[in-house]
Amino acid sequence: MQVPFLDLRLHHEPLMPELLEAFRQVTDTSAFAGGPFVSSFEREFALYCGTQHALGVGSGTDALWLSLQALGVGPGDEVITAPNTFMATAEAISLCGARPVFVDIDERTYTMDPAELEANITLRTQAIIPVHIFGQMADMDAILAIGRRHGTPVVEDACQAHGAEYKGRKAGSLGVAGCFSFYPGKNLGAFGEAGAVTTDDPELRTKVQMLRDHGQASKHLHSSISWNARMDGIQGAVLSVKLRRLAVANAARRTNARLYDELLADEPRVIRPALVPHNVHAYHIYAVRVQDRDQVLQRMAAGGVKCAIHYPVPIHLQLAYSFLGLGPGSFPVAERCAQEFLSLPMYPELRPEQIRFVVETLKESLRN
Ligand SMILES: *Cc1c(COP(=O)(O)O)cnc(C)c1O
């Protein structure tokens, strides 16, 4: 048996009639950049997340960058985030001219440790970006309370957490802004690059709307220098079709995660993702932790199971951030986890027999 890490074709095949109809509508109206299909998707996605507004942008990276720009983050400022994330979280901070400040993570949830956050807030801290890594939501009550105490806005990096919940509230609806990526492999994926900012704040909404479109306040009138970060019409149309399947697809991911959990329960050499009682995990990634991870990964591949690593090098150890002077040992939990993380195949269409095969192959790969 061969188990791929991800199979998007399987996900799209049953949607083809609807997707082709969506392409036809976009083509018929030539609504290619922004436009009505993006607006409809924005309304639907805001409703799904439980926010007043959602704004379609070019990517998750754009969503993060525009949210920080809209909050006025700039040179001399600091923004606190976690080191175990995708490069984009830190890049968005740097592209505003601000400095990323990393804090270590909780060893159970792999999300920002609120005690570390509190200890690293300074007068320069202009925003806090918890990352709902793998689809597990960060400890939002504690993080929001710290933000409130210091008057610092919290921006959620929800790029891996479409549909995840914290105490009954959806990712993207707790901070002042929620940032989403619709990169094809995410739980909700476009047919190319796309992203969104969710918010309840009318002022933030207006700012992001302007900033995503060359700082344009009204036609031909530009009140600031910004960039083109709009969403394609075709992506809006595709995302509307796929959003209707998201709840069912996420439920299938959770069913698959339960089976992985059950089959791995008797394996002491594997640390499974934590089940946090007040969280609904979106399982963008089902990451376990094992010793000798690289060897296990290779043996799995030889046995027909494609795994991945999210992420082998924490951001503070990337060459690009060497100027921060944060060497190995700066964030022991994040660094240890980065050496042990192994992402098993996880998607809604994964079949029980495939999951059994993945677990058998994993147990064999751990031996000797
Ligand atoms: C995917 C991702 C991003 C960036 O999104 P893009 O759409 O690829 O720009 C940012 N943060 C996290 C945690 C992500 O997983």
Which pLDDT score, from 0 to 100, does residue 368 have? Answer: 62
Structure tokens at 303: 């046995």
Ligand 1 atom index nearest CA of 88: 10
Contact indicator for 116, 84 with CB cutoff of 8 Å: no
Residues 6+ apart with CB under 8 A from 352: 259
**pLDDT score at 367:** 78
Give residue-wise pLDDT tens across range 280-294. 999 999 999 999 999
Residue 157 beta carbon below 6 angstroms from any ligand 1 atom? yes
> Does residue 85's CB lie within 6 angstroms of at least one atom of ligand 1?
yes
Nearest CA to ligand 1 atom 5: 60
Task: Work out the number of other CB atoms within 10 angstroms of the CB of residue 7.
Answer: 15
Which domains occur in the chain, in start order? Answer: 8-103+110-243 (3.40.640.10), 246-367 (3.90.1150.10)
What is the spatial distance between Cα 3 and Cα 283, in angstroms, rounded to a whole number? 18
Hey, what are 65's tokens? Answer: 């960058």
pLDDT recorded at residue 318: 98
- State if residue 61 touches ligand 1 by the CB under 6 angstroms criterion: yes
Contact (CB, 8 A) for 216 and 96: no
Q: Which pLDDT does position 96 carry in this prediction?
A: 98
CA angle 170, 174, 179 (to 5 degrees): 80
Residue 159, ligand 1, Cβ within 6 A: yes
Q: What spacing in Å lies between the alpha carbon of 180 and ligand 1's midpoint? A: 7
Give the span between the Cα atoms of 136 and 165, in whole angstroms.
8
From 62, 65, 86, mutation site for ligand 1 pocket: most ligand atoms within 8 A of C-beta: 86
Q: What is the full per-residue pLDDT of the chain (368 aa) written as tens digits?
A: 999 999 999 999 999 999 999 999 999 999 999 999 999 999 999 999 999 999 999 999 999 999 999 999 999 999 999 999 999 999 999 999 999 999 999 999 999 999 999 999 999 999 999 999 999 999 999 999 999 999 999 999 999 999 999 999 999 999 999 999 999 999 999 999 999 999 999 999 999 999 999 999 999 999 999 999 999 999 999 999 999 999 999 999 999 999 999 999 999 999 999 999 999 999 999 999 999 999 999 999 999 999 999 999 999 999 999 999 999 999 999 999 999 999 999 999 999 999 999 999 999 999 76
- Give the residue carrying structure tokens 């199979």: 7
Q: 């296990």: which residue's tokens?
A: 296
Determine the distance separating the centroid of ligand 1 and the alpha carbon of 315, expressed in angstroms: 13
Alpha helices in 265-328 (DSSP H): 293-302
Considering only CA atoms, which residue is closest to atom 6 of ligand 1? Answer: 60
The pTM assigned to this predicted structure is 0.98
Name 143's Cβ contacts closer than 8 Å, sequence gap at least 6. Answer: 112, 114, 117, 128, 130, 154
**For ligand 1, is residue 102 a contact (CB within 6 Å)?**
no
- Is 361 a pocket residue for ligand 1 (Cβ < 6 Å)? no
